[in-house]
Structure 1
């Protein structure tokens, strides 16, 4: 069949529309601070204000999570070296990405950021004060670069869903974002539905943030982040009424006086921050035998003297980075299993995390995220 000039033009137009990406449109997104921000979306070039933002970016773009990243903060190799190495192995070109310092410590290079001509810069909401004080939003606006805040750390149980929707909108992957949100909600309900039905007594839980990272004791969480996860999992967060915000500290005397039933310590491989530190190195593919040894060593500190949780071996360690990504539902399942082992005997957080990787993430799952003194090591 011979095509007429008009028919040929239509066919060529259809072919071009099939092989070329859709042109970006100006859209308005409302970030987690309530700011309305105009962005050209889908975004083709973005700067990650934190390297660990790859946790949620990868969940929305399993095939090519770095495709539209033109720069990122340098924290991932130090804060989570095992995950970084896994991504590096699969995507070796990430070594070519320009890196930035942090907004809060004043090492973010705005001139470098502008030179990369991003469509958007993503910032965690905890950098908001530093960003505003430096006048970065106004400076970036003058050259047409929008800045959008997301949050998986300050109020993750409140802001994870809107943050994922924001990212879905920016990336043109709204359907994937909604699929992830439903997956997350369903896995949390597997805990909350059982607790609502059985209404068990709530054990007192002390969560130590980054135990062993320094000699000081003890960082913890108020009524958010891991503190909120404990409450959702059927426990009573010991520090809820001591720490007014998300993060804070409690002194050893308060721990001993509260005599918690359970202790959960967040950990990771922080050798690049604190070489040879007492931290518990749980995480992607970690050595759980060594993590168990280091967890037991932390129970010898004065703050845990005579505490019921230590006496009963109800002391556990969990991957610290659950506090900074949308995978908190895995942590909620594991904590529920620790606090109420009889109620959640059939719950398998490891299988949940494995399913998350299979459905949403580009990496092959490797265990190593949890350890307990009750484990046989």
Structure 2
């Protein structure tokens, strides 16, 4: 009798051990799996967004809208054929972009002073809407408003740090997984890393008294600017320049008004601008003639096509603008940087466009067309 009881106890213990192993195995599999979970209906997936909200999204996402330019440009760079529309479109005679993408509708969004229209966005029938950096209040509140208004279309929240050049990698990685383009996301992260590493290693040891003094000229008269610490002037900080603007930082849209007397007092060695009108007039404007940057012909217009390289919009494309900025500020230190090669590679890999020699020259030497 005791023998039978012992046998039963041993068998019971074995059953418990096997069951616990199975539970542990299942737990480990769940931990190893991506944060998404396939439901019984294989057409949908449960997953968290970057704000921790649990969502149900299509397992195969083929059409995406983002509500502001930084996220829209990221989708374009990673999965262009899934982009359903633009927030805005620059007005160039020839946009350096494949017609498959230039022909996409402009659907607006929430950015700058713009307010989106829900019906317009719903009309392009996206599988998901991506919400990231927004000027429409706090992000959590904005997303809840979006989700209520978009109804059954999932609104996926991403990290607003996509607007900062040095902080974008987690968002790039997340969107790569979301849109099933992880290899492209990794390629972009590696491209970014190679440029940022070169910049950091080159400028980190420049003594403060040898750093280039830079003014960021905004607006048609060049008398609006953004000081150090602004998202709009971040490329100057990243590239080891001293932003001379000693003025308040205007939150959000930036562009603090200053006077020509202030600029003359700051007397920058280099002026960067993204405004073609200012660039076309600065060398002939007597108000600016005494500024060192003007006297020494060191006013530089940032490349603009299809998006400005240094500001407005912010986004993951600004990485090529940091390389350009470094070359403008410290041409001797970055003499070996092949900006033409980097530009061709960037446009081919991430803007999905093969530049001609003439187009490359137009981008990097805007004085030739001014």
The TM-score with structure 1 as length reference comes to: 0.70
- CA shift, 1:39, in A, is 4.8
Equivalent residue number for residue 170 of structure 1: 178
Secondary structure, counterpart of 2:136 in structure 1: helix
Question: Equivalent residues in 2 for 1:1-377 (5 A)?
Answer: 23-30=43-50, 34=51, 36=53, 38-40=55-57, 41-50=59-68, 55-61=73-79, 65-66=80-81, 68-73=82-87, 75-78=88-91, 82-83=94-95, 86-88=97-99, 91=100, 95=103, 97-103=104-110, 108-129=116-137, 132=141, 136-140=145-149, 142-149=151-158, 151=160, 155-197=163-205, 199=207, 201-209=210-218, 211-212=219-220, 215=221, 217-239=223-245, 242-243=248-249, 245=251, 247-252=254-259, 253-267=261-275, 278=277, 280=279, 294=280, 297-301=281-285, 304-320=288-304, 321-322=308-309, 323=311, 324-365=314-355, 366-367=359-360, 368-371=362-365
Equivalent residue number for residue 286 of structure 1: none
Cα gap change, 1:179 to 1:69, in 2 (>3 Å): closer
Q: Which has the higher contact order (CA 8 A, sep 6+)?
A: 1
Q: Is this contact kept in 2: 1:317–1:370, CA < 8 A? A: no
Q: Is this contact kept in 2: 1:39–1:120, CA < 8 A? A: no
Measure the CA separation in 1 of the matches of 2:114 and 2:369.
46
Measure the CA separation in 1 of the matches of 2:224 and 2:345.
34
- CA shift, 1:235, in A, is 0.8
Gaps of 5+ in 2: 1-41
- CA shift, 1:177, in A, is 0.9
The TM-score with structure 2 as length reference comes to: 0.71
Q: Is this contact kept in 2: 1:47–1:113, CA < 8 A? A: yes
4+ residue segments displaced more than 6 Å: none
Gaps of 5+ in 1: 1-21, 269-277, 281-293
Bigger-Rg structure (1/2): 2
**Which structure carries more strand by proportion?**
1
State the aligned residue count.
313
- CA shift, 1:363, in A, is 0.5
